[in-house]
Amino acid sequence: MTEQTPNPTPENLADAAPDTPAAAEAPDALAAAEQKIAELQDALLRAKAETENMRRRAAEDVIKAGKFAAEKFASAMVPVKDSLEAALADTSNDVAKTREGVELTLKQLVQAFSGASVEEVNPLGEKFDPHKHQAISQIEAPGEPNHVVQVLQKGYLLHERVLRPALVIVSKAAG
């Protein structure tokens, strides 16, 4: 019978020719490659965990930001509420004193709006802007057509975004 040689594998090659330099370096290279693979797998798992932690923290921050977005504005509104309650509790029937209190309360409200970047829109005499104004009607008026001739209700902007459009009456050409 003839002896069959098994199919060459890295183990068989190393056994068959232990004196060759390539065969001697193969186990070391294999061990180094396996160690590098283990290091890369560990780094990948750590990177995935860090990415997941960052995503979770970002989602929590978004929830907190939405929940407490109005905190500064609400803090500015508390004194306004206090002033209104004090005005209602006043039973002196002194009209001048009540008017003065209401004016001070309005001043507090305007300051709160300013601090929250809420801007009043009073477009009297301006060209009609459908992005900031809502026309209720048109009337014939002297001057250029398509201009605001009367403001029925002021509008408000928040950082240049319309909170409420101004309700206006717009001029039209005489005809």
Q: Are 139 and 171 in contact (CB under 8 A)?
A: yes
Enter the tokens of residue 134: 């809502």
Inform me whether the pLDDT recorded for 98 exceeds 80: yes
Inform me whether the pLDDT recorded for 87 exceeds 90: no
Annotated domain spans of the chain: 11-68, 70-116, 118-175
Inform me whether the pLDDT recorded for 7 exceeds 80: no
10-29 tens-digit pLDDT: 555 555 555 555 556 788 89
The better pLDDT of the pair 168, 21 is held by 168
d(CA 39, CA 49): 15
d(CA 138, CA 148): 9
Q: Is the pTM of this model over 0.85?
A: no
Q: What is the pLDDT of residue 15?
A: 54
28-70 tens-digit pLDDT: 899 999 999 999 999 999 999 999 999 999 999 999 888 888 8
* Beta-ladder partners of 137: 169
Using CA atoms, how far residue 161 sits from 42, 109, 144, 158, in Å, is 48, 20, 27, 5
The pLDDT confidence band at residue 95, using thresholds 50, 70 and 90, is confident
Inform me whether the pLDDT recorded for 94 exceeds 70: yes
d(CA 20, CA 29): 15
- State whether CATH 3.90.110.10 applies to domain 118-175: no
139-152 tens-digit pLDDT: 998 888 999 999 99
